[in-house]
Amino acid sequence: MLEICQVTKYFQHQVLAPVDLQVEQGEFIAFLGPSGCGKSTLLNIIAGLEQPTSGEVRLDGQVLTAPGPERGMVFQEPGLFPWLNVLENVAFPLRRQGLTEAVARERALELLKLVHLSRYAHSWPHELSGGMKQRVAIARALALNPRILLMDEPFAALDEQTRMAMHVELQDIWQQTGKTIIFVTHNIREAVRLADRILVFATRPGRIKAEFKVQAPHPRLEGDGLLLQLENQILRELREEMEKVLKEELGDDYHLKKSGFPWHPDRDLGSYI
């Protein structure tokens, strides 16, 4: 359905080496890699917010060059309009498309039900917790019934408990709607919990280094043995990339080999990349 063909991007430096990727309808894909490896850049190119330097992105064979209603986007910051209540925030894209207020409200209410926020339809954004705001942002991104949901570290700013609750919620939304989801994260555990296919990025320049399939059925439970095994496998793949990033950030003071691998089994693996 979605094809990324030989996409590169240069800013001052080459940020993306040629990237090729094919995404099937209904897939849940994660882009995983250390910060600065070009995950957001690639997602923004798919969204039509950035143009590739070369190569192209096609949806059903049509080249994409601008944002469109078939792609919904959720960012790390919920970005709700503070002067609109929850229902009006979700209805906003529908109203802008020219739907009548009654139709827009009805559709917005359906979406609020999907994200379990019906009771908060008339609340204001500042009255909601971080997780609730992000659920409103997801409902708003789904308003125009996009085929693809693009999510850029949407839960990175949430506390651990809320993030785990959002993982349950998002799996549920994905199963109910059958949307294609591309989810950017630097957290291995999150990628393994959610995605069916994980693309591990290498850095400088950003490119896809490895692909992992996660066969476990949804909904997946936190701490599942099979998932933990996969986390470790992916961590080994990322070790080299992490070393590169840490060396650059910490300079010559940093000797990963001497200090050993900076990983403890009780800690969240994701927080190291």
Ligand X SMILES: Nc1ncnc2c1ncn2[C@@H]1O[C@H](COP(=O)(O)OP(=O)(O)O)[C@@H](O)[C@H]1O
Of the pair 38, 78, the CB lying nearest ligand X is at 38
Told to check if 44 binds Mg ion by CB under 5 A, we report: no
Strands 62-63 and 54-59, by their bridges, are: antiparallel
Of the pair 40, 180, the CB lying nearest Mg ion is at 40
Which residues have C-beta within 8 Å of that of residue 66, sequence separation ≥ 6? Answer: 48
From the list 41, 89, 180, 187, which residue makes contact with ligand X (rule: CB under 6 A)? 41
Of the pair 86, 151, the CB lying nearest Mg ion is at 151
- Min separation Cβ 95 and ligand X, Å: 31
Of the pair 149, 173, the CB lying nearest ligand X is at 149
3-state SS record for 142-188: HCCCCCEEEEECCCCCCCHHHHHHHHHHHHHHHHHHCCEEEEEECCH
Alpha helices (H) along the chain? 39-47, 86-96, 101-114, 130-142, 160-177, 188-194, 225-250, 256-259
Contact 76, 152 (CB under 8 A): yes
105 binds, among Mg ion, ligand X, none (CB under 5 to 8 A by kind): none
Binding mask 11-40 for ligand X (x = CB under 6 A): x---x-----------------x-xxxxxx
- Min separation Cβ 36 and ligand X, Å: 4
From the list 8, 40, 89, 203, which residue makes contact with Mg ion (rule: CB under 5 A)? 40
Of the pair 16, 108, the CB lying nearest Mg ion is at 16
Q: Is 238 left (phi over 0), alpha (psi -120 to 50) or beta?
A: alpha
Q: Which residues bind to Mg ion, rule: CB under 5 A?
A: 40
Q: Which residues bind to ligand X, rule: CB under 6 A?
A: 11, 15, 33, 35-41
